[in-house]
Structure 1
């Protein structure tokens, strides 16, 4: 993960340097007396994803336009002091608020009013340069972001997904061992602790998949990775079902353990069922960048069908409330796989 962060920072460093240099030169070519305004927009508009960059850029353009329209004419007719600046900011930001614009626009309005208020007296072209250079910086920042190593978090999402699958499989295996060989040894608290970590990883993976999906918006070379992420989203439904199953089963097993009644046949049967689920989710670790191995998928299907057939042979027992609960939760999970 640290290597990935370094790679992302390296990409940002190069993008910022190249886009800033190009935007400065383009601003000079169109006659700007304040070419530094174009790189300023580049630096501000290079966000983590192309989608965020575009939205921030639009907010910056709108905020800049409102600030210039309100300030450019008045500044030459008003005395320069803090109270006048405050009134202009109040008026500009109230207009943006009245138009129900984003909070980012409010900041851009205030920033533009401050800079135009300060520099327009000394340079009559500042307001015009600001709007033109802002457009130049925004366009160049987005183009560089799109075509020069565009943001793509698909690989990170895949790594997070596989880590989640590993944790889910391990907990199911832990439950199997608990039932078969560690009954009455107080394993419930340890499993619940691991479940808390699993829940955190589940949320992390969901957020990572969402971030990866957002990073592919407006990405010109993202078609294949969009397909990959859609596969992961489908598999996440099974992960959710797996977590819900474990959560309910652990409560049942803890209560069952207090009673202490678990026959050898029940230990074998329940332990084997949990082990099969562990093997099922363990195969998810074999998914590489969304490419699901057909052999692995067939093996998963065979595991599920085998367990489903076995469950049909044993109708829900009526004499043991805990086994009934275990049976019903297992059927529920099978319906979601």
Structure 2
């Protein structure tokens, strides 16, 4: 089916959302039992970690870990936000830099300034958005504001309401910094996150059984296989281990001089989608198909271009002496295999 569909459904009793583009699964969100990214706690400083500049915190949902702490004493309350999912047996990752994010606006307490997404280049639209900001926010407001790219297609009234709602929530949370450990806000569940992040034109399907009728279940079943076809007989194998995610790119039966570069470029274009759907992050090591060193720049360029459309923070670390290419990717999601098995 051509075009985009957002399917809101449940899988194994968990709220879930799927984004299908031209009949192919492009993104998938599923709820978990743990704290969601974006949740905000009033946490209590517990004990510092010497040599790492961090501190463990107490929260109602278990220990959290805050990096790069200065001037924080044990027993002191502090507002923090969950940045990702904790690995098994580890503390919840949190940050002091709170973000109140919605479909059109991001409010940034403690980081004043009013910014509009650089992807919005129409001067008339930018002037309209600045007018909305001046109406909703007072001069000298200490809250920072970022208007997202979705504002380009939004209605003025909806954008104003969204900004006002995020500002009100931010002020309420920031005024509640004292007291015992408490969860002040939940992160968005999959249906709310889909509304917030999937802003391109799409048909929304809410009928029960939507995952089955729109082919989502078949796509999820394919993701259980470690092998990913790349066309022309080439493939890559994606195997998570405890230490890292190992990716092996193969040319198949093609032994021509250009086969290695062709397979590696196909892998680079497909890899962000596979990592996003499988919920994989951390250290990622790619064992690329054999190709001359002069072709490495083309591979890096293809991978960098593919990652531009991926919201998860990913750093291209570079080549190892053995000829592997390494990435470092934020653990923004839990592995899909453990959620749908």
TM-score class, shorter: under 0.3
Greater share of helix = 1
CA radius of gyration, larger in? 1
More strand by share: 2
TM-score (norm 1): 0.23
Q: TM-score, normalised by structure 2?
A: 0.23
